[in-house]
């Protein structure tokens, strides 16, 4: 397992749409395979099971980098703080390692200065070790940095995969010293059917999914792939030992078709 800059282990294990025993078995398989970064959210409805899986594992809580996210319905400062306490209770822990704003407030209903100030106060209280943002655009990243100051935002978690490469936003985050975390790095399985990724994968005797993850890693991003199959959980983490050539990275760069998968009606006005 590779440790990226700052404190985030790469890869993380994503838990979106996982629940019950399937979720617990997947987390155990991930921890056994060497993952030390677990990503959940209030919206996923599985914080309690995530916490139970971590407690039931042989890996100490202190060795696990645990991320959760505040849903946009909870951004009013008093509500935000109460929701974090509820998340910690469900997770069965006194702190998370990273607390994100899951989506910026739709139509700026709650002013950013209000909920980011509350987020920083939660950190000051020791309930999270790091804070960050998710699904923030270039303009919103700038506003967030102006509110919190440089060096306070650990990451912006955004959709990144070969078909949505999000280069302008990613480069903008890097200029601010903000680590990019790529969610949906496998484009909900679509990478498996791409002829370019298949061709590169064949040269390494690996899967197209592993090539996509190696590509994310070589862009200096954290990836949080998700799987319920122990075999895939293991192959996903093995992908971080691959090194693609410059020409292969250039080939994958041509696959960008601005194909956005996570695009709810409350999403911000995306950057081109």
CATH of the domain at 129: 3.20.20.100
- Which residues, including other chains, have CB under 8 Å from residue 74's CB and lie 6 or more apart? 42, 80, 82, 83
Number of domains in the chain: 1
Residue 264 domain flag:
no
Residue 261 domain flag:
no
Residue 187 domain flag:
yes
Strands 179-183 and 222-223: parallel
Q: Token pair 């919206």 is at which residue?
A: 43
Strand, coil or helix: what is 269?
A: coil
44 is catalytic: yes
Q: What is the 3-state secondary structure (H, E, C) of 141-155?
A: HHHHHHHHCCCCEEE
| Contact call for residues 201 and 192 (beta carbons, < 8 A) | no
How many CA within 13 A on the CB side of residue 132?
27
Q: Which residue out of 35, 44, 95, 115 is catalytically annotated?
A: 44
User: For the chain, how are helix, strand and coil distributed in percent, rounded to 5?
Assistant: 50, 15, 35
**pLDDT tens track for 148-200:** 999 999 999 999 999 999 999 999 999 999 999 999 999 999 999 999 999 99
Residues in the chain, pLDDT under 70: 1-6
Any known ligand binding at 102?
A: yes
Rounded Cα distance, 113 and 148, in Å:
9
Q: Token pair 């998370």 is at which residue?
A: 96
Write phi, then psi, for 6 (nearest 5 degrees). 65, -130
Which DSSP helix (H) or strand (E) runs through 70? strand 65-70
Q: Distances from the Cα of 231 to the Cαs of 36, 165, 176, in angstroms?
A: 17, 27, 37
Residue 91 domain flag:
yes
Residue 171 domain flag:
yes
Q: Looking at residue 272, what is its pLDDT?
A: 74
Cis peptide before 11 (omega within 30 of 0): yes
Q: Looking at residue 128, what is its pLDDT?
A: 98
Strands 131-134 and 222-223: unpaired
> Of 6, 106, 93, 183, whose CA–CA distance to 115 is shortest?
106
Rounded Cα distance, 143 and 9, in Å:
27
Residue 260 domain flag:
no
- With vertex at residue 207, the alpha carbon angle to CA 201 and CA 212, rounded to the nearest 5 degrees, is 75
Neighbours of 221 (CB within 10 A): 25
Q: Looking at residue 2, what is its pLDDT?
A: 42
Write phi, then psi, for 36 (nearest 5 degrees). -130, 20
- Which residues, including other chains, have CB under 8 Å from residue 150's CB and lie 6 or more apart? 176, 177
Strand, coil or helix: what is 96?
A: strand
Rounded Cα distance, 226 and 36, in Å:
14
pTM (2 decimals)? Answer: 0.96
Give the domain extent around 85. Answer: 2-253
| Contact call for residues 258 and 127 (beta carbons, < 8 A) | no
């Amino acid at each position: 397992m590779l440790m990226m800059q700052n404190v985030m282990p790469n890869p993380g294990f994503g838990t979106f749409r996982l629940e019950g025993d399937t979720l617990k078995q997947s987390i155990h398989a991930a921890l056994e395979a060497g993952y030390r970064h677990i990503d959940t959210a209030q919206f996923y409805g599985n914080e309690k099971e995530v916490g139970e899986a971590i407690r039931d594992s042989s890996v100490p809580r202190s060795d696990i980098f645990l991320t959760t996210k505040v849903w946009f319905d909870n951004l009013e400062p008093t509500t935000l703080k109460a929701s974090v306490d509820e998340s910690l209770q469900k997770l069965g822990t006194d702190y998370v390692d990273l607390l994100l704003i899951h989506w910026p407030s739709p139509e700026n209903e709650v002013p950013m200065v209000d909920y980011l100030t509350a987020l920083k106060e939660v950190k000051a209280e020791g309930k999270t070790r790091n804070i960050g943002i998710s699904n923030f655009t270039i303009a919103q990243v700038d506003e967030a940095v102006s509110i919190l100051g440089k060096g306070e935002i650990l990451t912006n978690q955004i959709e990144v995969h070969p078909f949505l490469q999000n280069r302008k936003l990613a480069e903008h985050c890097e200029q601010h010293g903000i680590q990019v975390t790529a969610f949906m790095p496998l484009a909900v399985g679509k990478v498996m059917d791409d002829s370019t990724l298949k061709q590169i994968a064949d040269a390494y005797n690996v899967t197209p999914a592993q090539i996509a993850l190696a590509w994310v890693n070589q862009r200096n991003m954290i990836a949080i792939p998700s799987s319920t199959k122990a075999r895939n959980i293991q192959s996903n983490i093995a992908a971080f030992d691959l090194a693609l050539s410059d020409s292969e990275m250039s080939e994958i760069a041509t696959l960008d078709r601005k194909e956005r998968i996570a695009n709810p009606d409350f999403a911000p006005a995306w950057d081109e």
